[in-house]
Structure 1
């Protein structure tokens, strides 16, 4: 990515990370993170925060295997220096018929080749009674947000 501006490097790394999530690519996920990376979540997720590149990869591969998880990136905003970024995402848990939307704040290493930290914020508290968790009265369709998962989840043995 020589010649790429830092904000573009940050966005490309986030997109590579999400592709690795959707592919349940354990090594691809590990490769996106510093060894000591941390992924923080709102209260309630067992085992959170996930500490280490391997723990993060294990978590997302588990989600694909057990919930047929799929993810879409809705919006990306990266700082000019590329050291931080924020995104909006959708997590499609297709096996259990649940959809979760939220934001994440990213911090990258100095050369923007690895993710050091992710802080996740959900659009709303997870309500198991709702199959789609979303902001009240926000028109996702009119704003161009994904309304379906990007593809079927891969089968994992």
Structure 2
């Protein structure tokens, strides 16, 4: 799917799902321009602490980082399940990340936020893995939980 196709769909449930699927397809293709076409210019991608030097800030940064993962680690992704909340312009996608050259399979889910044009403004990645015993807060690195009204005590 081309970058233009990612930005044309709008904000219906079907369009938001197509945007997530198109984004994942562009990631698997290692197509930095295609990836960026599904993201707002100031998009943010959050990860667990100490993962991938996150959060990644900006469409071009996100696009380049995933294109590099494909090139250097043989990364590819599948969309295993997706749920869309059209009125809130949000989606959740369960996925599998195959890190081909490392022989690693990483499973997880991402929370997506979209702007008025249906471009992805925020991705919050959550991984299926054991709890880190040396962490007292298991949350996304760099994400402003308190500022967004999440319980923080």
Which TM-score bucket, shorter chain as reference?
Answer: 0.7 to 0.9
Match of 2:115 among 85, 109, 114: 109
Q: More deviation in 12-21 or 38-47?
A: 38-47
Alignment of 1:112-131 (within 5 A): 112=118, 114-125=119-130
> RMSD of the alignment, in Å?
2.2
Contact 1:7 1:82 (C-alpha < 8 Å) held by counterparts = no
* Aligned length, in residue pairs: 126
Matched, 1:58 2:64: yes
Whole-Å separation in 2 of the counterparts to 1:80 and 1:52: 24
The answer to which structure has the higher helix fraction is 2
Any gaps of 5 or more consecutive residues in structure 2?
133-153
TM-score by length of 1: 0.74
Whole-Å separation in 1 of the counterparts to 2:36 and 2:11: 24
Alignment of 1:1-157 (within 5 A): 6-81=12-87, 83-112=89-118, 114-125=119-130
Contact 1:10 1:82 (C-alpha < 8 Å) held by counterparts = no
Whole-Å separation in 2 of the counterparts to 1:58 and 1:25: 9
| 1:4 positional shift | 7.9
TM-score by length of 2: 0.76
Any gaps of 5 or more consecutive residues in structure 1?
128-157
- 1:140 maps to what in 2? none
What's the CA shift string for 1:93-127, capped at 9, x where partnerless? 01010000001000001131x10000000011599
Whole-Å separation in 2 of the counterparts to 1:55 and 1:3: 23
Whole-Å separation in 1 of the counterparts to 2:102 and 2:131: 13
